[in-house]
């Protein structure tokens, strides 16, 4: 079985490499090759868009954490400055007392001049305690100044990092917008006949890849999810029909990794934000052990992710212009799969969630929807 799976994945990755290489040259007068080139070009643009989208998601997540760190550092700095101000007030009070002659005499001189030696010894004890208090004030003041200086430096550094993250996020947003505009121009240039043949070719290629995978026997046999996996699947199925929007994490719109993250969050499991992080950080699972609820990851750079539904199907947010839907597992070039809950045992029985009408409708490439512009979020606002 391992050899068969290796062969399947090798074939799938070969397809992915071809898609990433760019458009296929069309033979003059050959409409099939022309549509094949269009489909390849469209897929390449979408893959580049997803790559930029996941980079944007990573930058956005880092920005959220950095913003929280900046706020925490600023709060600590405010507290430190307040403590420093109190220390300076206390030190100033002691200095004024000494300047006004209200500070104590030397304990030795006081002892020599005192008519009552016992009373003088008591006064010496009080004076020694006052001296220790003064020394404590100075020590606390020095510590407060040092802490405030360190926090001020950290605050400036955090602000600089936040500005850099904002710039990086904006750069990725611009890249996504550029790629989506290219998709819009490409789709706008196509005739109704070309779009129909494009859909037919995509369907045929997906069917071929799906038949190859299912024919390998990798997904044979009954599969049941864990309890958490079942809950994640139920959540994902409830999102079917909601629009794709890059950078979105719900509840009304999603991108691919936003959907998988929120689905597993509904089951009480926190996942990394991006598809690359989910692929890198979660335990791998071979296809012959794939169970519903596991995450299926696509393309060599792990730029797309879906939830395995079972029976060779996945639930995912495919592309701008598309909606959350059910697709064949081989609708995109497979990279592998990961399991968010490796410690969760498979349920003995499982009834898959009922799919809504039209759950499998629409092209995964997004051109069957209202258009890529629908996947563009509103103008950026500083977090």
- What is the phi/psi pair of residue 337, to 5°? -140, 155
Q: In sequence order, what are the beta bridge partners of 226?
A: 346
Catalytic one among 51, 304, 323, 339? 304
**Residue partners of 183: CB distance under 8 A and separation at least 6:** 42, 45, 46, 49, 320, 366, 372
Q: Is 316 a catalytic residue?
A: yes
Whole-angstrom CA distances from 248 to 96, 268, 316, 364, 383 are: 61, 20, 13, 18, 15
Catalytic one among 173, 179, 197, 316? 316
Catalytic one among 38, 230, 256, 267? 256
CA distance 14 to 282: 24
- Within 10 angstroms of residue 195's Cβ, the number of other Cβ atoms is 16
CA distance 155 to 159: 6
Longest CA–CA separation in the chain, Å: 122
CA distance 287 to 179: 32
CA distance 262 to 315: 13
What is the set of active-site residues? 256, 304, 316
């Amino acid at each position: 079985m391992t050899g068969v799976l290796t062969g399947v994945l090798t074939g799938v990755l070969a397809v992915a490499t071809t898609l990433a290489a760019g458009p296929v040259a069309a033979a003059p007068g050959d409409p099939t090759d022309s549509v094949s080139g269009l489909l390849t070009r469209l897929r390449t643009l979408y893959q580049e868009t997803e790559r930029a989208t996941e980079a944007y998601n990573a930058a956005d997540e880092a920005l959220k954490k950095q913003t929280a760190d900046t706020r925490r550092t600023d709060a600590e700095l405010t507290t430190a400055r307040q403590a420093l101000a109190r220390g300076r007030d206390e030190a100033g009070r002691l200095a004024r007392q000494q300047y006004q002659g209200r500070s104590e005499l030397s304990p030795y001189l006081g002892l020599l001049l005192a008519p009552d030696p016992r009373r003088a010894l008591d006064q010496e004890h009080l004076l020694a305690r006052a001296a220790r208090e003064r020394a404590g004030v100075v020590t606390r003041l020095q510590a407060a100044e040092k802490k405030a200086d360190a926090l001020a430096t950290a605050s400036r550094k955090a602000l600089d990092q936040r500005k850099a993250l904002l710039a990086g996020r904006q750069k990725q947003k611009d890249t996504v917008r550029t790629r989506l505009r290219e998709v819009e121009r490409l789709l706008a240039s196509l005739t109704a006949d070309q779009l129909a043949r494009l859909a037919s070719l995509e369907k045929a290629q997906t069917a071929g890849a799906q038949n190859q995978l299912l024919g390998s026997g990798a997904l044979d046999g009954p599969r049941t999810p864990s309890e958490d996996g079942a809950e994640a699947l139920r959540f994902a199925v409830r999102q079917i029909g909601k629009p794709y929007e890059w950078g979105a994490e719900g509840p009304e719109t999603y991108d691919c990794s936003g959907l998988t993250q929120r689905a597993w969050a509904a089951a009480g499991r926190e996942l990394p934000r991006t598809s690359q992080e989910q692929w890198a950080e979660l335990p791998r699972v071979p296809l012959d052990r794939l169970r519903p609820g596991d995450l299926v990851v696509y393309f060599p750079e792990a730029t797309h992710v879906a939830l395995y539904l079972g029976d060779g199907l996945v639930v995912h947010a495919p592309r701008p212009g598309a909606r959350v839907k059910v697709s064949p597992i081989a609708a995109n070039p497979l990279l592998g799969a990961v399991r968010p809950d490796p410690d969760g045992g498979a349920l003995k029985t499982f009834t898959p969630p009922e799919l809504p009408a039209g759950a499998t409708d629409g092209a995964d490439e997004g051109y069957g929807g209202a258009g890529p512009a629908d996947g563009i979020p509103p103008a950026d606002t500083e977090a």
